[in-house]
Structures are given as C-alpha cells and as structure tokens.
C-alpha cells in the first residue's frame, strides 16, 4: 500500500518500522522513497501508528488507511488487492479515528507532491 500525494508514504505505516531494517526493500530505499528522504519523523509516525493499532487490536494498515481517508483531499491510497488488503480497506472505511488523528498529526510534516505535475 502506498500513498501518492502530500502525505507520508503509507507503505511505512502498514507494518512496523523495524520490519524494513535488514530487508532488501529497506536497503534499496537507501534513505529515500520516491524522491523524498526518509526522516526520523517518518519513523516516529510509523511507531505511533503501531501503538494505536496495538491499542485497538487491529492492523497498522487499517489505521493508516483510516488516517488517509480522514485526509481525503490530499492523498490517494494505492493498495495491493489480496483478500486481506481488501478486508483491511473495508474495515478502514468504517473505522473512525478521533483523538488518534491529533496524536498522528502532531508529528506530521507535509511533503511536496511527487510524480507528474
């Protein structure tokens, strides 16, 4: 799952941050994702998403998608279409973040638009 737009790429928010260290995918990013440097703030946001997901007993992907849906005008989630991912997307539609939005947003730093302009 990736978010193209002004938000942090959701790919970092769909599973724990440490899941990327030591992987070929993590090494290939070489500190950047689609032209944007990966920052300490990105890691902190991912860790907050993980904490929220654990507290609710749901996946990080559901929390990430719910956050993107809340920020509807500035993001376009693109997901793979496995049965599990479709179920998470449906769950995210009905999941409403309240105080959690503030917890995520207080760290968020906007990134420029990527891709074709």
Q: Say which residue, 82 or 6, is predicted with more confidence.
A: 82
Q: What is the mean pLDDT of residues 20-30?
A: 58
Total residue length of the chain? 117
**β-bridge mates for residue 75, sequence order:** 5
**Average pLDDT rounded to a whole number, residues 87-100:** 86
Q: Please, are residues 111 and 9 in contact by the beta-carbon 8 Å criterion?
A: no
Contact 36, 10 (CB under 8 A): no
As given in the structure block, the two tokens for residue 68 are 């993107």
Structure tokens at 64: 């990430």
Whether this model's pTM surpasses 0.95? no
What pLDDT, in 10s, does the model give residues 47-82?
999 999 999 999 998 998 888 888 765 555 556 678
Residue reference for tokens 């990966």: 38
User: Mind listing the pLDDT tens digit for each residue in 34-51?
Assistant: 566 677 888 888 899 999
């Amino acid at each position: 799952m990736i978010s193209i737009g002004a938000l942090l790429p959701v790919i970092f928010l769909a599973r724990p941050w440490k899941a990327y260290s030591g992987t070929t995918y993590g090494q290939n990013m070489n500190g950047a994702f689609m032209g944007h440097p990966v920052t300490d703030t990105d890691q902190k946001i991912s860790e907050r998403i993980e904490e929220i997901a654990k507290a609710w007993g749901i996946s990080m992907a559901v929390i990430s998608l719910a956050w993107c849906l809340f920020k509807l005008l500035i993001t376009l989630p693109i997901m793979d279409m496995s049965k599990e991912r479709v179920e998470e997307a449906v769950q995210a539609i009905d999941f409403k973040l309240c105080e959690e939005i503030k917890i995520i947003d207080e760290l968020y730093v906007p990134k420029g638009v990527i891709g074709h302009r």
